[in-house]
Structure 1
């Protein structure tokens, strides 16, 4: 999958009580990315949820770190501001649609805004990272992103605009303790919007899905949603 993934990477997904989370932004392909500083001001929404509730994130300066608050599961979620790119030809756009697993859902032969011109796409990123402090207590939950994954005891639930998304393509990447990406797998949500990929051993994994829809001005909008978790 050559399309760019986006995720928020902490120094570890399991931290000791009293440690501070130091996230970086990762953008890359096949779970291999380039780090960028994490600045909450760069995002439309930043959500930091602790076991005892949501914690307000400062938007007036540039905090790089998140203090540990209580023992248990913490969730860091972001929604990016929209950005625009263009695909030079219909062939380029069709190749991209194939990469994100949506060839059977999108009329990629449509010429777009101007016949013969570039195909315009506005894209957004929705990403969650699950981090545990101290005791492994607490469960993932919906935090209010327009598109988000929720980790459950029996797998992962994919929500889009608050509703489970059944039969939707998804992509799983897993990395071992040595930092090598050992697994890439395409999967699909079931009739309840869930997927339960088998993951063996201790890994850090990224689960990703992409939605794309035509806009009124005949451009396209894609919404990428990912979750980073430890296994």
Structure 2
């Protein structure tokens, strides 16, 4: 199922390569971005805001050699040929909902309206309450021939591409698997941001099936951001602690021109 989405005020976080296809041995650069509708501010690498910053190429995983303040955050040269996966997990951050309508809008947008009644059933305040959030982002880049495959990289929430968008036939779409705590996440909303060569962005909604899978329509020459959010209740230890936790999975990739 595909539904055209109406943009709302939720801020996604993603890894944006400056070029999704690079020559073997060339420098690969990628920026952390936070924003809306596949456009946002570039963020520097700050170690105490990063729980994990890895790369996987030719099946080998290594920590990204980044220094405080680097922007682009990923700036690595002389990588071997193959499919490069850039992985970043942030530390926890919090946001305060000053009024109930903001929570309603957010939970409607990200497809967990049950959290509205769940909030009331727990007897929580309808204003000035906190949510803790953590981001789990991946990006796929073709180095040289770009050969290789994505895999589960052990993130708490994670998109796993089931085909290689740089080398495989994408005429039938890109199959993806959404994972949560090591198991497929079934019947989950996926928000897909599709950026055309002219810079315009179309946003559509999709759902995973009973096996946590979805096949997403893609076009040659376009860039993509996939986003899915998982929400969990939190019990505050003291007044003012977060009462909800959200886990954001993101995957960026491109489909080369034919």
* Shared fold per TM-score greater than 0.5: yes
Q: Secondary structure at the match of 1:18?
A: coil
Q: Distance in 1 between matches of 2:101 and 2:127?
A: 12
- For residue 219 of structure 2, what is the aligned residue in structure 1? 200
Q: CA RMSD in A?
A: 2.1
TM-score (norm 1): 0.91
Count residues with an aligned counterpart.
230
Q: Secondary structure at the match of 1:23?
A: strand
* 1:163 aligns with one of 183, 192, 199: 183
Residues 5-24 of structure 1: pairs in structure 2 closer than 5 A: 5-24=12-31
Q: Distance in 2 between matches of 1:108 and 1:117?
A: 15
Q: Secondary structure at the match of 1:124?
A: strand
Q: Displacement of 1:90 after TM fit?
A: 2.2
- For residue 120 of structure 1, what is the aligned residue in structure 2? 130
Q: Does 1:176 align with 2:193?
A: no
Q: Secondary structure at the match of 1:102?
A: coil
Structure 2 unaligned regions, length at least 5: 1-7, 164-173, 237-241
Superimposed CA distance per residue, residues 203-230 of structure 1 (whole angstroms, 9 cap, x where no aligned partner): 1100100011111227000111100011
8 Å CA contact 1:68, 1:133 repeated in 2: no
Superimposed CA distance per residue, residues 115-165 of structure 1 (whole angstroms, 9 cap, x where no aligned partner): 354121001100000011001310111111111000013600000011000
Q: Distance in 2 between matches of 1:113 and 1:131?
A: 46
Superimposed CA distance per residue, residues 31-69 of structure 1 (whole angstroms, 9 cap, x where no aligned partner): 111212234553011121111411233466565412232
Q: Distance in 2 between matches of 1:89 and 1:175?
A: 33
**Relative to structure 1, is the Cα distance of residues 185 and 61 closer, same or farther in structure 2, using a 3 angstrom cutoff?**
closer
8 Å CA contact 2:226, 2:251 repeated in 1: yes
- For residue 151 of structure 2, what is the aligned residue in structure 1? 141
Residues 18-37 of structure 1: pairs in structure 2 closer than 5 A: 18-37=25-44
Structure 1 unaligned regions, length at least 5: none
- For residue 54 of structure 2, what is the aligned residue in structure 1? 47
TM-score (norm 2): 0.82
